[in-house]
Structure 1
Amino acid sequence: MIDKPCRGLRKDAERNKQRVLTAARELFAVKGMEATLNDVAHYAGVGVGTVYRRFATKEELVDAIFEEGIAEVVCLAETALQHSNSWDGLVWFMERQCELAATDRGLREMIYSKAYGGHGVECAREQLVPLVCKLVDRARHDGYLRVDIEHTDTPVIGLLAGTVSEWAGHVDPQLWRRYVALLLDGMRYHPDQKPLGTDALDEDQMHAAMHGWDPAG
């Protein structure tokens, strides 16, 4: 009899934690990294103290949400590598990566910026890079992809999809698909292609760009 209230409290605490996590994921998807813990509490319909008891800082909450979110993108890349046709696999991955970037502002900002995210998030990012490299390399090796496309081009296309969605999503939520299709078509190899006027970012430049961008300002 003595333990029942304790078990009840633990269940209530777990329900509140899941409520906060669900609310935070939904809120960050719309508002991105600018959302605060107070915003999350209001959106979840709980007191601010409830949020702070579960997550002492915004960074703790972000880690709890986005380690899983980036792991989802890693899973997409692994699935894409199972396609027997390397171009189909790359396109499948790019379309789904861009869909996430277009519909989840928080995940987009988390993947493409290093202003937020702890060890778990960084480990998930590091798992993603070699998989995307392999997707790009094999499509290029098989003659589907133009020779000057690099794996560092793929996150930029995701950012472009997200920007289109952020700008015109209230007018046409699917508009980003048009521009992703145009970009994918431009990535295909054709004989006598002229070289692109600017090189892709190398790894150091990509890291510098990600470190320099703070989505929340």
Structure 2
Amino acid sequence: MSSIAARPLRADAARNRALIVDAARRLFAERGLDVTLHDVAEAAGVGVGTVYRRFPDKDALLAGLVEAKLEGLLALAEKCTVQVSGRDGLRAYLFGTMALRAGDKALSNVVMRAAPSTAAAERLRGELSEVVGRIVERARAEGAVRAGFEPSDVPAVSSMIGSIADRTREEHPEAWRRYAALLLDAVCPPEGVLPPMEGVAPQSFLSSPPTCR
């Protein structure tokens, strides 16, 4: 059974759950796996008992974060299936996943590696894989995708941008956008557009790379 909910929640319960998930996302991103449920309750502004009612232990909370992440990706993918063209749909999905990961502060790696698998998460992964497959195939049918690119490459592409965002967040918080444009145009260039380096100015940090944190 999903750690999120097996049936619709009351409005106040749904609000509390959203507060808990948002607080947990921030804290795990900032501190890693040392966060406790008490920490989450304090950050969410709810009682510890409220957290335990929704998530009885840290594993359940991590699983809930994974499910919430997959739900967000699935919602994004479904929106991209109705773009005017397959090219537009794939570009929108790729950039959307890059943007989500860029704002993630490495939470993806922390949570995805530590969270136990759940039936709900596996179901969501299956649905996401099917929808993303359709997005890529539609673009491929238009001849809009670089040869060899597969749906399974999407996480790697977004992870590359996430790594850049994590490195440059403090000094150059928007730097990831340049590299997102380069990758996006390499995988699925806009119709009639020249190679991706054309017209994209390098960031000032390139002459003095930031140190890893």
State how 1:126-141 maps to structure 2 within 5 Å.
126-141=126-141
SS at match of 1:172: coil
Amino acid at match of 1:142: E
Q: Is the 8 A contact 1:20 1:40 kept in 2?
A: yes
In 2: Cα distance, 1:94 partner to 1:128 partner: 13
User: Which residue of structure 1 aligns with residue 25 of structure 2?
Assistant: 25
Offset at residue 117 of structure 1 (A): 3.9
Give 1:142's aligned residue.
142
Instruction: Measure the CA separation in 1 of the matches of 2:187 and 2:128.
Output: 21
Distance in 1, matches of 2:92 and 2:63, equals 27
Alignment of 1:108-119 (within 5 A): 108-109=108-109, 113=113, 115-119=115-119
Using the alignment, how far apart are the partners of 1:77 and 1:111 within structure 2?
21
Partner in structure 2 of residue 70 of structure 1: 70
Task: Please give the alpha-carbon distance, in whole angstroms, between the structure 2 residues aligned to 1:150 and 1:12.
Answer: 42
Pair 32,100 (structure 1): closer, same or farther in 2 beyond 3 Å: farther
TM-score normalised to structure 1 length = 0.69
What do residues 26-54 of structure 1 show as CA deviations (whole Å, max 9, x unaligned)?
32344455534343244345675664454
Question: TM-score of the superposition, structure 2-length normalised?
Answer: 0.70
Q: C-alpha displacement at 1:147, in angstroms?
A: 1.7
CA contact (8 A) 2:66 2:112 kept: no
Closer/same/farther in 2, CA of residues 45 and 110 from structure 1, 3 Å limit: same
Gaps of 5+ in 2: 1-10, 192-213
As a proportion of its length, which structure holds more helix?
A: 1
1:103-139 per-position Cα deviation (integer Å, ceiling 9, x unaligned): 1246633786474342212211111111111111221
Write the distance in 1 (CA, Å) between the matches of 2:13 and 2:188: 52
1:211 match:
none
Counting only pairs closer than 5 Å after superposition, residues 1-217 of structure 1 correspond to structure 2 as: 19-31=19-31, 33=33, 35-44=35-44, 51-52=51-52, 54-105=54-105, 108-109=108-109, 113=113, 115-188=115-188
Could you tell me which residue of structure 1 aligns to residue 204 of structure 2? none
Report the CA distance between 1:167 and its aligned residue. Answer: 1.0
CA separation of 1:71 and 1:13: change in aligned 2, threshold 3 A: closer
Number of matched residues? 181
Q: Taking structure 1 as reference, are residues 82 and 57 closer, same or farther at Cα in structure 2, changes over 3 Å only?
A: same
- Pick closer, same or farther for the CA change 1:39–1:136 going to 2, 3 Å: same
Q: Which has the larger radius of gyration?
A: 1
